[in-house]
Structure 1
Amino acid sequence: MIALHTTIAILAIVLLIIKGKVDPIIALVVGCLYLGLASGIGFEKTVDAITEGFGDIMAKIGLLIGFGVLIGSLLHVTGTFERLVGRLLDTVGPKRIPYALTVALSTIFPSIYVDVQVVLGAPVARSSAKHMDRHGLPLMAGALGTGIFCGYVFVVPGLAAVSIAGLLKIPLGEYLLYGIVLGPLTAVVTTWIFSRMLRHGWWRPETDEERTEALDDADANTPGAADGLAVGAHLPSLPVALLPILVPLVLIATGAFVKLAGVENEVVAFLGDANVAMFLGLLIAYVLARRTGGLDRTGEAFSDGLHTAGEILLVTGVGGSLGAVIKETGLADVLGGLFGADAGAPIVVSVLLAWFIAAVLHLAIGSVSVAAITAAGIIAPILGSIDVAPIAIGLAIAAGSLFALQVNSNFFWMFKALLGLSTQGSLKTMTTVTSIASFVSLPIVLALAFVL
């Protein structure tokens, strides 16, 4: 019954938002209350789960969202995103930008938290979309989501990738060797398939896009647009203008790799902390904005960023509440008891089972990392009795954990707000591309299982 009530809650949230035009925050809280009470958690524990889930999400990513959105808002003052997109257009052309973005995210940046990636990547995706055809925004949104999560689950040191390898005792070097090929390959193929869907009527801007006033103002005030910069403004060079993005990425990546190497250094750990790294990026962005646009324009950009961040933080936090209520129901334990791998099962059955466990967990719980970790934890004790290479089982879990990221994920709501999409549009992009990526990678993993 827990699985049934979870399904009802998720469907009810989607229908309330899309069909009933109910605000996502209200719909999410209603879904939380229904699920908690219907599954037998009780009044007190339901409320506790909602508030604790909100607080946990804010503790983990609240500052990241705030700092990241403010960095993006300040970088508009220096024209950074428009100039970066212009450089990309000159280098790869508008048709290849989605593929360049998704490959970069799935190979170069997996060490960065997915929340940081989407906060810093969304403005680039939005700016690039303006130079493409009418499907530019959904295609760039799809490429962004695909690249982030293919890197997250397949490429070391992505959190899900490292967790799967650790639980299944797969050498990180071996996981990286296969994942660095499977990750970007899946991302590129997924982006191509999604682009074909868009050309065949998958997207309706009037219902799938929901631009907020803050995003519209930020884009309208982008230097290089029609209004331009104030007379006398001095633009920093593009490499310097990109420092608010590059410095946090380098610091976080360095901290991740040092930790993987087993080296303990308090200074590196401090600077590599995502919150500290993002704050340093914010300081650099603030200084550059003051030098470029002056005090007044910087203040306006900061205010716009705070307004946008507030909206994103509230809906993201309530999305975290839903995930906490689902966890409180004990659904993961129920799924763990339902599924078990038979010793000596055929290769196809074993791989499909590993994929299925992770897929169901992600669909229900709403967290890619939790689904991957839980699935690996379920399978790890019986891995020795499965006649399949551990790396194939690990990659199958990774592929399954991608499946259908949707409304019970706090990332879904961040993605929606930062890209300026409606809930329906987010389902048509984020949920769709993660589902496609999950299915695209599965046959490759099956083929690998037979070879190894």
Structure 2
Amino acid sequence: MEPVYGTTTLLLIAAAAVAVLLFLIIKVRLHAFIALVLVSLLTAVAAGIPLADVPTALTSGFGSTLASVALLVGFGVMLGRLLEVSGGAQVLADTLIGRFGERRAPLALGIAALIFGFPIFFDAGLVVFLPIILTVARRFGGSVLYYALPAAGGFAAMHALVPPHPGPVAAGTVLGGDIGVVLLVNLPIAVVAWYVGVYLVSRQLGARIDVALPTLLFGEINDGRTGDDGTVTTTQPAPPAFATVLGLLAIPLVLIGFNTVLSTLLSSGSIDSHPVVDGLILLGNTPVALLVTLLAAIGLLGTRDRTLSETTDLLDTSLGPICSIILITGAGGMFGGVLRASGIGGALTSSLSDLGIPLLLQAFLIATALRVAQGSATVALTTAAGLIASQAGGLSDLRIALLVTAIAAGATVLSHVNDSGFWLVSRFFGMDEKTTLKTWTVMETTLGLSAFAIAVALWPLAGAV
């Protein structure tokens, strides 16, 4: 719909909405789910969305977010619970630490996340990796930020910057670039930006802010068995082999990898549709891939020392604590959807595009404005690329790749309460909203700024090639 108010009014409404939301959650201590729904409703009315359309604006953002998150979190937490209680997460953690050493455990987690994050989206990768992060944190103690931020930041860097993830692919395509060049340029940039903006920053944040190991997802340390008298059996059977655990985690990696590669080839016309190709794409759809992995885990881990009925009870109990996470994440998507429907993001970026600033900086600022206004990094990437596409004509493939870097950097910074990823990280790692703003938001910002700084440094060199 067309914005009812001008840019200044819309920006004031957006700023007021965020301020009221933070006040309700942090000061009043209103439950985040209730506060998000309430502020989304008030924002929709204040921004001039017709009253008859307000329910649709609310439910569309909520529903679209749940469609992508609920299945991932549900399957992921069940898989994580099986890995945790079977000792599989401990085996993988021990192996990583054995290779890298105890002092480099956060580095090992981050590197593993960068590798797994190549084909897997941020939220799916974080869910699958969660038991490994928590197992390492439990073993060595200290703030969970030491271990959580390098891994979560690794998934975030790959998701924002590197094809075949949808944001950089869409941005590169809209700008008329070569996706292969975008991949070759942005992959090393993502690694360097992760090391500077995530790994080094996480060490400082972990030293300053102590976040205790959360028990929301997996509860107390036990193997998940409760006897008839209510006592918990803590005797652990022999853990699964490292190859078994690695093979399980490789299932979504391979299936989703097939999906992304084949979908890209189909869209480019390099291959034609075929039942085998379509079947592999279906299996590589992220929820389907996680379902296949969960079924394999039930067979390989869940029934090693317990009956299928006991495993079912274990999985059932793992779902209860995540209801709040799913609802809050959906409500965060609702808030972002209302901001998009109100025209706040479009009004802001239209005014920015007319300022006459250098193209690379313009790309970064427009993407940043979209990110702050509506929350979704992918939406910010694709929309910002469309707004500057007319100015990208005649640029070399290298410079277009760096434009994608700048847009992705802007779409990464300042993750806050209208970003569903903000709520996932907050709830997964047991942080309140204020702590999440001081840690996750800061780290996302330093990651984006690091990537943008690299793009600025390489821009003159790309022009000389």
Q: 1:418 aligns with which of 412, 416, 428?
A: 428
TM-score, length-scaled by structure 2: 0.88
Secondary structure, in 3 states, of the residue corresponding to 1:215? Answer: coil
Q: Is residue 227 of structure 2 the alignment partner of residue 215 of structure 1?
A: no
TM-score, length-scaled by structure 1: 0.90
1: CA distance, partners of 2:207 / 2:83: 35
2: CA distance, partners of 1:311 / 1:342: 43
2: CA distance, partners of 1:220 / 1:259: 42
1: CA distance, partners of 2:151 / 2:435: 14
- Give the CA deviation at 1:283: 0.5
Q: Is residue 164 of structure 2 the alignment partner of residue 161 of structure 1?
A: no
4+ residue segments displaced more than 6 Å:
385-388
Q: How many percent of aligned residue pairs carry the same amino acid?
A: 27
- Give the CA deviation at 1:60: 2.5
2: CA distance, partners of 1:297 / 1:422: 34
Aligned equivalent of 1:244: 248
Amino acid at match of 1:126: L
2: CA distance, partners of 1:185 / 1:213: 33
- Give the CA deviation at 1:87: 0.9
Count of residues in correspondence between the two structures = 438
Bigger shift: residues 76-85 or 411-420: 411-420
Q: Please list the CA deviations of residues 10-46 of structure 1 after superposition, one character each: whole Å capped at 9, or x if unmatched.
A: 2222222222222111111122022111111143322
| Change in 2 beyond 3 A, CA 1:254/1:15 | same
- Give the CA deviation at 1:433: 0.8
Aligned equivalent of 2:376: 367
1: CA distance, partners of 2:455 / 2:125: 26
- Give the CA deviation at 1:106: 3.0
Q: Is residue 342 of structure 2 the alignment partner of residue 335 of structure 1?
A: no
| Change in 2 beyond 3 A, CA 1:129/1:276 | same
- Give the CA deviation at 1:222: 7.4
Aligned equivalent of 1:293: 305
Runs of 5+ unmatched residues, structure 2 = 1-8, 226-231
Mapping 1:429-448, distance limit 5 Å: 429-448=439-458
Amino acid at match of 1:239: A
Mapping 1:227-242, distance limit 5 Å: 228-230=234-236, 233-242=237-246
- Give the CA deviation at 1:382: 2.1
- Give the CA deviation at 1:196: 4.4
Aligned equivalent of 2:328: 315
| Change in 2 beyond 3 A, CA 1:145/1:12 | farther
- Give the CA deviation at 1:326: 0.8
Mapping 1:89-238, distance limit 5 Å: 89-135=97-143, 137-198=144-205, 201=208, 203-205=209-211, 211-217=214-220, 219-221=221-223, 228-230=234-236, 233-238=237-242
Contact 1:88 1:97 in 2 (8 A): yes
Aligned equivalent of 2:229: none
Tell me how large the CA RMSD over aligned residues is.
Answer: 2.4
1: CA distance, partners of 2:206 / 2:326: 33
Q: Please list the CA deviations of residues 57-112 of structure 1 after superposition, one character each: whole Å capped at 9, or x if unmatched.
A: 22233212211111111222311111111111111123322223223333442221
| Change in 2 beyond 3 A, CA 1:179/1:28 | same
Runs of 5+ unmatched residues, structure 1 = none
- Give the CA deviation at 1:447: 1.0
- Give the CA deviation at 1:410: 1.4
Aligned equivalent of 2:392: 383
| Change in 2 beyond 3 A, CA 1:76/1:132 | closer
2: CA distance, partners of 1:70 / 1:109: 20
Mapping 1:257-296, distance limit 5 Å: 257-262=261-266, 263=271, 264=273, 265-295=277-307
- Give the CA deviation at 1:385: 7.4
- Give the CA deviation at 1:361: 0.7
1: CA distance, partners of 2:323 / 2:199: 34
Amino acid at match of 2:447: A
| Change in 2 beyond 3 A, CA 1:429/1:319 | same
Secondary structure, in 3 states, of the residue corresponding to 1:437? Answer: helix
Q: Please list the CA deviations of residues 232-269 of structure 1 after superposition, one character each: whole Å capped at 9, or x if unmatched.
A: x4543122134432212210111111222333312211
